[in-house]
């Protein structure tokens, strides 16, 4: 009897790779960022479905998901505040496939500059003079925003209210003395928008 040659068989796990992309690299706080990509075999490029992929943001695991039949995955992440956000995805591996990390992608979040206008009507008249202080607030591109506006008279806050969806606002104030008043409105800023510089105007009541 003639024996065949002995062949050594040494099964090994398959290397994998993760791709990653984001739908934006610059945004404002509170915006949503979509992170997506694909888990695949390194040797053939075949997508690996049914595998658990985790999302890491600035070194902290934030979420997990299961890849689709073609190896694709996606996450939606809401940016909480200003700053730099480094994203990558991770596959732990299993009994058939080695684990891997995706490349790093960075998203930068910055507050949006704003601008405000002001007008006072009437500007002169005998006291008590009831005047309307109005204006509009927008982002730097002219898009109206609904935010809290503060009214100051002679450096003291006397009222506050939210602007309308079209960015307009209006206050009523009665000037009781015949003198010059300093009047301005102000948006102090919030997590998404920068505060406005003060828009000042002098008001005389005769």
Tell me if residue 190 falls in helix, strand or coil.
coil
pLDDT tens for each residue of the chain, 206 residues long: 666 666 665 568 999 999 999 999 999 999 999 999 999 999 999 999 999 999 999 999 999 999 999 999 999 999 999 999 999 999 999 999 999 999 999 999 999 999 999 999 998 899 999 999 999 999 999 999 999 999 999 999 999 999 999 999 999 999 999 998 999 999 999 999 999 867 655 444 43
- Model pTM? 0.79
Tokens at 81, concatenated: 């505040």
- Predicted confidence at residue 12, as pLDDT, reads 87
DSSP three-state, residue 196: coil
Can you give the pLDDT at residue 81? 96
pLDDT of res. 204: 44
For residues 80 and 29, give the distance between their C-alpha atoms in angstroms, rounded to a whole number: 6
Judged by phi (left if over 0) then psi (alpha if -120 to 50, else beta), residue 2 lies in: beta
pLDDT at 66: 98
């Amino acid at each position: 009897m003639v024996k065949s040659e002995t062949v050594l068989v040494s099964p090994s796990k398959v290397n994998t790779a993760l791709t990653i992309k984001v739908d934006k690299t610059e945004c404002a706080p509170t915006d949503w960022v979509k992170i997506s990509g694909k888990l695949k075999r390194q040797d053939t490029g075949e997508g690996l479905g049914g595998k658990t992929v985790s999302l890491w943001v600035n070194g902290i695991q934030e979420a997990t998901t299961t890849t689709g039949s073609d190896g694709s995955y996606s996450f939606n992440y809401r940016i909480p505040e200003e700053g730099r956000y480094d994203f990558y995805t991770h596959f732990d591996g299993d009994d058939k496939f080695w684990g891997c990390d995706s490349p790093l992608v960075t998203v930068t979040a910055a507050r949006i500059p704003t601008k405000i206008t002001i007008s006072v009507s009437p500007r002169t008249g005998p006291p008590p003079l009831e005047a309307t202080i109005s204006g509009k607030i927008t982002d730097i591109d002219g898009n109206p925003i609904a935010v809290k506006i503060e009214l100051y008279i002679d450096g003291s806050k006397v009222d506050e209210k939210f602007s309308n969806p079209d960015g307009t606002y209006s206050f009523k104030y009665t000037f009781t003395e015949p003198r010059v008043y300093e009047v301005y409105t102000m948006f102090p800023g919030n997590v998404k928008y920068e505060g406005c510089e003060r828009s000042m105007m002098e008001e005389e009541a005769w």
